[in-house]
A and B are shown apart, each in its own frame.
Chain A
Amino acid sequence: MSANGKPQTIEKLVDAFGGAVLHTGEALGEWSAVVALDSIHAALQFLASDSELAYEHLSDLTAVDLSQLNRAEPGLDGARYAVVYHLYSPQNETRLRVKTPVTDENPTAPTVSDIWAAAGWAEREVYDMFGIAFENHPDLRRILMPDNFTSHPLRKDYPTKGLGERAAFNFETSASNLVGKSDSTDRGEDAIESETMVLNIGPQHPATHGTLHLEVELDGERIVRATPHLGYLHTGFEKLAEAMHWNQWIVVTDRMNYLSPLSNNFGYVLAVEKLIGVEIPKRAQYIRVALAELARIADYMVWLGTHALDIGAFTAFLYAFQQREKAYEIFEACAGARLTISYTRVGGLFYDAPESFEPMMRAFVKEFTDEALPEIEKLLSRNRIWIDRTQGVGVISAEEAVSYGLTGPCLRGSGVRRDLRKTEPYSSYEEFEFDVPVGASGDTYDRYLVRLEELRQSCRIITQALDNMPDGPVNVEDHKLRFADKSHVYKTPDHTHPYDPTQPYGSIEGLIHHFKVNMDGHGVPVPAGEAYCATESPNGELGFYIVSDGSGTPYRVRVRPPSFYNYQSLPRLLEGHMMSDVVTALGSLNVIAGELDR
């Protein structure tokens, strides 16, 4: 950071582009710059390729419809949309948000998919949701909505309930986004070559967990081309957020990565807490960390089980699911629910962890590290067939992994030591001791080994969290944020008890408290502003980019889904492989349809 407080990045950017940089500013510790549309490509190219800045990683690319924002965004005057790029520089460990104004009359922007491969699908999604066309994009099609969809749902003038498309939905025409066999494929002069076969794997296929759809063109057993089709589980979570209270949307986050719902809860409330600027009590942080790691274990268990099942090892699948069940019992003890637990709240937790929390966790960790994990490893790690099936399959180099925006175990499998828990610690992760394993060659086997090692590290973190668990409340004291205790809200037989926070009886004051925090137009007071908060979810960087206009509901919530970016690399992973490797590579990415399609 230089003398006048501006980071080197901003200074160099202003130096290089001068007047094209319309605005720079800092809020909540995040620097952002607004760059004019005609220089945006050059500016991003500069940021990505400059050897000192090296923003090699496009964290996220999205857009915001500014038409109903009640404040003027500096540098974005007269623009209907802002395309937002979140960049990360692994070299300097800095983040930068770059925005560019896009007008309603001419909703186009230059593509950056030539700079970062990760932008390919992200731009398709922006095109789909906002109608912003990206010039020179290699494959600009709708990605989440059906091809014959005419509106752009995330525009502010599109109603949350839709325009009746659901009633008019026609499966036949919606299936038209299949690419089919391209006639242009040049087969050379050898006319006797065999025909290729176009095969749909998914959405209803035993190996495409969830509703993934992969259209593969095969020459015998060899894959010529693989095209993923998305959107079968698209539920409009981001649009929903614009009509829900801050706390209400926690429930929706459960449904994203439904294998580790707590990680989503966690990431979302962290982002909201960042916007509010509140620090939650240590105990709540520790419980969140312990449960997030437990969620990671549960997530990896499903990954391991299904991955093994896809390669044909059925028994490993059941061994893994057994452990997952045990993890779910702990979630159940904490939150009352097993799958969609919605355990976190803005400013803390739903409840304090129960008495049985610590013994249950300790018993689980002990059994998991001493028995379950070695047993599964014994079945697979040195299994000749397993090694043959996974080594050298789906190889992606470190550079490409970064370019594709891979995060989490998929990135670390390629040898890039990057873990948000280390580089940008949140929720007291800096107080924990753990290692970040990386693989050597970036193949499926490496991703497998990295995940197995991370399971052990997660157990280490859980043990530390339990050992050092502080006492105290699990919610902030601010009564504008915390929920009224349920016992103060419920009706009592005689309605006579005065409000007494220590007494578990319903009272009118308790009810008012509840009303003020929960009801329309009240709710958690989140100041106007924007924040991007990334957490290390089991699949990688789970980011929440939230724009608030100070009202009771978010103005725009953008989820940076790790699965979305990871899945984008699948066609690359499958290059030159065989039909059987589809399931291997797919399994190693651990794509969760709920998170992918949102």
Chain B
Amino acid sequence: MKHPIETAAEQIRATAAEATETLNLGGAWPAGLPLETVILLTLVVIAVIAVTVVAGIPIVLVLMERKVSAYFQNRLGPTRVGPWGLLVTLADGIKLLFKEDMVPPSSDRKLFRLAPYVVFAASFAVVAVIPPFQSTVIGNMDLGLFLYLAISSLIVLGIIMAGWASNSKYSLFGALRAAAQIVSYEIPLGLAVLMIVMATGTLNMQHLVMDQADGIHAWYMFRHPFLFIGAFIYFLSAVAEVNRTPFDLPEAESEIVAGYHTEYSGIRFAYFFLAEYANAFIVSAICATLFMGGWAAPFPFLSGVPGVVWFLGKTMFLVFIMMWLRWTLPRVRVDQLMSLCWKYFLPISFVNILGAGVLALLEREEIGAQLGGMFLSAEAVSWIAFPFVLALLGWFARWGTEPVRRPS
């Protein structure tokens, strides 16, 4: 079987040959080029576009964050640079570009310089696995989901490098916190993703989306209650993975100043900053793809709208929720963060997986029939359980906060 990319490259070569002929450019370029070269060129072009687009996303997100926070706080946010303050992040970027590239002499210079690249490159490479629209090329990898988990783990490496190399106590603190936090939350995150794999039997993100393309009821999030909880755990773990409030301990300003990037300035700082927002976008995009149907339209009659619109819409919605959380909640403490992960998310995730397995077992007709037919069918169980799950989540959120002690 031909790989889809080869098909695409052949098409490109054919189109190019046709164009060369019609425009009468003469010569055989690029029709004469070997297929490999064309493929490589195609990929490079796609990759450059991807990197540029992804590098542009944080710029939009930073502006969005400022505006969202402003409206949450009865302010206007940036209004001066460009209409409605649209260009303010660009101005910030230019400012950072003009800053001196400073490396503290007491730092481990090589590591200090390398760290931003690792963080930057790792967060950008993840983009390759995400399908922003229906395509045989982009995001169509058989191990996509697994690669996402693998490559995103690289980020923590860069963070530890940065913290250690800085030779500042605040940086070290930030790095160690980041290490403990990101590493811990990777487990519930991985287990939540595992449930998706169990339900579909594939790690290919394009296939995952196609499996959910029927509409909102087909979204994995709403397949059954265990997956709903899984989506919940995935999202919260993802918030912790990208160090955003309430889990922003590695850069908790009021405690450890700026955490692992305390000593960074200028454009190197900008890399961390960009990577942070790129990560927020990427985890949201993956959450949207895994649990909310990715580029698929929520209702069949809306399928005329381009997939990329749905993809971006869902992702931005999740990003907005992240911002909403950030501007509403205080920060948790490190022991609370850890116990949330190890003592709540982890066991819940395991129970979730077992529950999903049992449900899958019930889906088998003969067993379902044995157990009483319709009454215990998987779907019925799901829909009966949903309100209970929601109530459970609500109860958990409010647990222990009542009653408020009124001083007398």
Query: Which residues, 385 to 408 on B, are CB-close (under 8 Å) to A?
Result: 397-402, 404-408
- Min Cβ gap A432→B in Å is 19
Identify which of B37-45, B122-130, B140-148, B251-259 touches chain A: B251-259
Task: Flag if B407 contacts A449 (CB, 8 Å).
Answer: yes
Complex partner residue of A388 from B170, B328, B336, CB under 8 angstroms: B336
Q: How far is the CA of A435 from the CA of B406 in the complex (A)?
A: 13
Identify which of A25-33, A139-147, A548-556, A577-585 touches chain B: A577-585
B327 at the interface (CB under 8 A from A): yes
Q: How far is the CA of A190 from the CA of B328 in the complex (A)?
A: 45
Within 8 Å CB of A522, what residues of B? none
Task: Flag if B330 contacts A583 (CB, 8 Å).
Answer: no
A376 at the interface (CB under 8 A from B): no
A524 at the interface (CB under 8 A from B): no
Task: Flag if B255 contacts A315 (CB, 8 Å).
Answer: no
Enumerate 14 A-B pairs (CB-CB under 8 Å) in ascending A order: A197-B169, A207-B253, A310-B254, A314-B326, A319-B73, A319-B74, A382-B402, A382-B404, A386-B330, A388-B336, A446-B405, A578-B333, A580-B252, A583-B255
Q: How far is the CA of A450 from the CA of B248 in the complex (A)?
A: 29
Task: Flag if B336 contacts A312 (CB, 8 Å).
Answer: no
Interface residues as binary, A461-484 with B (CB distance below 8 Å gives 1, 0 otherwise): 000000000000000000000000
Task: Flag if A385 contacts B246 (CB, 8 Å).
Answer: yes
Task: Flag if B405 contacts A315 (CB, 8 Å).
Answer: no
Within 8 Å CB of B335, what residues of A? 221, 578
- Min Cβ gap A410→B in Å is 13
Within 8 Å CB of A205, what residues of B? 257
- Closest partner residue, chain A, to B335 (CB atom): A578
Query: Which residues, 319 to 341 on B, are CB-close (under 8 Å) to A?
Result: 326-336
Q: How far is the CA of A449 from the CA of B406 in the complex (A)?
A: 7
Given A311-B330, A578-B335, the answer on whether A438 and B401 have CB atoms closer than 8 Å is no
Q: How far is the CA of A450 from the CA of B332 in the complex (A)?
A: 23
Task: Flag if B252 contacts A312 (CB, 8 Å).
Answer: yes
Task: Flag if B330 contacts A383 (CB, 8 Å).
Answer: yes
Q: How far is the CA of A412 from the CA of B408 in the complex (A)?
A: 11
Task: Flag if A381 contacts B407 (CB, 8 Å).
Answer: no
B289 at the interface (CB under 8 A from A): no
- Closest partner residue, chain A, to B256 (CB atom): A579
Task: Flag if A312 contacts B245 (CB, 8 Å).
Answer: yes
Q: How far is the CA of A412 from the CA of B173 in the complex (A)?
A: 35
Task: Flag if B255 contacts A308 (CB, 8 Å).
Answer: no
Query: Which residues, 88 to 115 on A, are CB-close (under 8 Å) to B?
Result: none
- Min Cβ gap B104→A in Å is 17
Task: Flag if B401 contacts A382 (CB, 8 Å).
Answer: yes
Query: Which residues, 325 to 365 on B, are CB-close (under 8 Å) to A?
Result: 326-336
Complex partner residue of B404 from A379, A381, A384, A435, CB under 8 angstroms: A381
Task: Flag if B332 contacts A318 (CB, 8 Å).
Answer: no
Task: Flag if A206 contacts B254 (CB, 8 Å).
Answer: yes
- Min Cβ gap B106→A in Å is 16
Q: How many residues of A contact B (CB 8 A)?
A: 45
Q: How far is the CA of A583 from the CA of B257 in the complex (A)?
A: 12
Given A312-B246, A384-B397, the answer on whether A580 and B255 have CB atoms closer than 8 Å is yes
Q: How far is the CA of A197 from the CA of B330 in the complex (A)?
A: 27
- Min Cβ gap A577→B in Å is 10
Q: How far is the CA of A464 from the CA of B405 in the complex (A)?
A: 27
Q: Known contacts A311-B331, A313-B329, A445-B405; can you find 12 more A-B pairs with CB under 8 A?
A: A206-B253, A309-B254, A310-B254, A312-B245, A312-B252, A312-B329, A314-B73, A383-B330, A388-B333, A450-B407, A578-B333, A579-B255
Q: How far is the CA of A177 from the CA of B58 in the complex (A)?
A: 45
Task: Flag if B408 contacts A385 (CB, 8 Å).
Answer: no
- Min Cβ gap B265→A in Å is 16
Q: How far is the CA of A160 from the CA of B179 in the complex (A)?
A: 54
List the 5 closest pairs (A to B, CB-CB), nearest first. A312-B331, A437-B407, A207-B254, A313-B330, A310-B254
Given A314-B69, A449-B406, the answer on whether A379 and B328 have CB atoms closer than 8 Å is yes
B110 at the interface (CB under 8 A from A): no
- Min Cβ gap B23→A in Å is 58
**Interface size class, chain B:** 35 or more
Q: How far is the CA of A412 from the CA of B332 in the complex (A)?
A: 27
Interface residues as binary, A299-328 with B (CB distance below 8 Å gives 1, 0 otherwise): 000000000111111110011001000000
A199 at the interface (CB under 8 A from B): yes
Task: Flag if A582 contacts B255 (CB, 8 Å).
Answer: yes
Task: Flag if B169 contacts A221 (CB, 8 Å).
Answer: no
Q: How far is the CA of A437 from the CA of B406 in the complex (A)?
A: 9
- Min Cβ gap B375→A in Å is 37
A439 at the interface (CB under 8 A from B): yes
Task: Flag if A322 contacts B407 (CB, 8 Å).
Answer: no
Given A206-B254, A438-B407, A578-B335, the answer on whether A318 and B401 have CB atoms closer than 8 Å is no
Q: How far is the CA of A292 from the CA of B132 in the complex (A)?
A: 60
Within 8 Å CB of A308, what residues of B? 330
Q: How far is the CA of A325 from the CA of B171 in the complex (A)?
A: 36
Task: Flag if A389 contacts B408 (CB, 8 Å).
Answer: no
Task: Flag if B334 contacts A438 (CB, 8 Å).
Answer: no
- Min Cβ gap B171→A in Å is 12
Within 8 Å CB of A314, what residues of B? 69, 73, 326-327
Task: Flag if B74 contacts A318 (CB, 8 Å).
Answer: yes
Given A381-B404, A384-B400, A437-B408, the answer on whether A312 and B74 have CB atoms closer than 8 Å is no
Given A206-B253, A309-B254, A318-B75, the answer on whether A383 and B407 have CB atoms closer than 8 Å is no
Given A315-B73, A583-B255, the answer on whether A446 and B246 have CB atoms closer than 8 Å is no
B383 at the interface (CB under 8 A from A): no
Q: How far is the CA of A583 from the CA of B254 in the complex (A)?
A: 7
Query: Which residues, 282 to 310 on A, are CB-close (under 8 Å) to B?
Result: 308-310
Within 8 Å CB of B170, what residues of A? 199
- Min Cβ gap B336→A in Å is 6
Query: Which residues, 187 to 242 on A, are CB-close (under 8 Å) to B?
Result: 197, 199, 205-207, 221
Task: Flag if A207 contacts B72 (CB, 8 Å).
Answer: no
Task: Flag if B404 contacts A389 (CB, 8 Å).
Answer: no
Within 8 Å CB of B331, what residues of A? 311-313, 385, 389, 580
- Min Cβ gap B38→A in Å is 51
A387 at the interface (CB under 8 A from B): yes
A453 at the interface (CB under 8 A from B): yes
A243 at the interface (CB under 8 A from B): no
Within 8 Å CB of A579, what residues of B? 173, 255-256, 334
Task: Flag if A384 contacts B334 (CB, 8 Å).
Answer: no
Task: Flag if B327 contacts A315 (CB, 8 Å).
Answer: yes
Within 8 Å CB of B398, what residues of A? 382, 384
Interface centre among B173, B249, B329 (most CB of A within 10 A): B329
Q: How far is the CA of A449 from the CA of B253 in the complex (A)?
A: 25
